[in-house]
Amino acid sequence: MMKVYYICHSTWGIISDVKDLLFDYSERICGSGVRGVVMKIFSGRSPLILFSHTHSDHFSPSVSTIVKNAQYILPRDTPEDIARGFSTKVVVPLRGEVTLDGVVIQTFPSTDEGVAYLLELEDGCRIFFAGDLARWVWPDDSEKNRREAERMWKRVLGELEEYNGVDLAFLVADPRLEDLGGFLEIFQVLQPKHTFPIHNFGVFSHYKKLKGLRGVHLPSGAPQEFILGDH
């Protein structure tokens, strides 16, 4: 059994029999109340805490004062003065693979900053976390910017084709973008068993576009727990 926690925006937690995980802890969007939520979920545990990048809606270094006995994963483009604040950290390349405590961590360059993660746990469970990996095309973009964004996005989708059938995927569904940042495209490429939308800024109304998709779990408030009997 695995428990998945929507905490806020792009902050998600996982409790499993193999490894506990926390992604993109941020107090900017979630507020200071998120501290108590995270403390309760990970009380007495030693999670792996991963940051996809250091945008403030994905990153708060104060998590190191909340969760004890954690290990941290930071992408290589993390500023040195920020990285120095984490004593138990592994800095991962923007594209590459490392293994930590039995977890295979593969990284892909984002279409914005930092990385997206593909994790494989010791039980074989594969988890994809997008971070800010999305189709960043805005209505007022110039034609040049639009073409570049599309080029980067198509490259990423091509790279991810071989990972079809991941167990869990956390994919950007941004309410500010008419196509939610390419959610359906990457969903069709990865075809996850279980999918969770991220990057919602506390907005849930746009999730109506995702209703009925196989295996998509839609939060309706924060925090919210999802229990997966299989993965």
Residue type at 156?
Answer: V
Classified as helix, coil or strand, 127 is strand
Residue 22: per-residue pLDDT: 98
Residue 51, pLDDT score: 98
Query: What pLDDT is stored for residue 231 in this prediction?
Result: 66
3-state secondary structure of 18: coil
The tens-digit pLDDT sequence of the chain (231 residues) is: 899 999 999 999 999 999 999 999 999 888 889 999 999 999 999 999 999 999 999 999 999 999 988 999 999 999 988 888 888 899 999 999 999 999 999 999 999 999 999 999 999 999 999 999 999 999 888 999 999 999 999 999 999 999 999 999 999 999 998 799 999 999 999 999 999 999 999 999 999 999 999 999 999 999 999 999 876
Residue of 44, 43, 107 whose CA lies nearest to 73 = 107
**What distance in Å separates the CA atoms of residue 106 and residue 160, rounded to the nearest whole number?**
12
Q: What 3-state class would DSSP assign to 98? A: strand
User: What pLDDT is recorded for position 168?
Assistant: 99
**Domains defined along the chain, listed by start:** 2-228 (3.60.15.10)
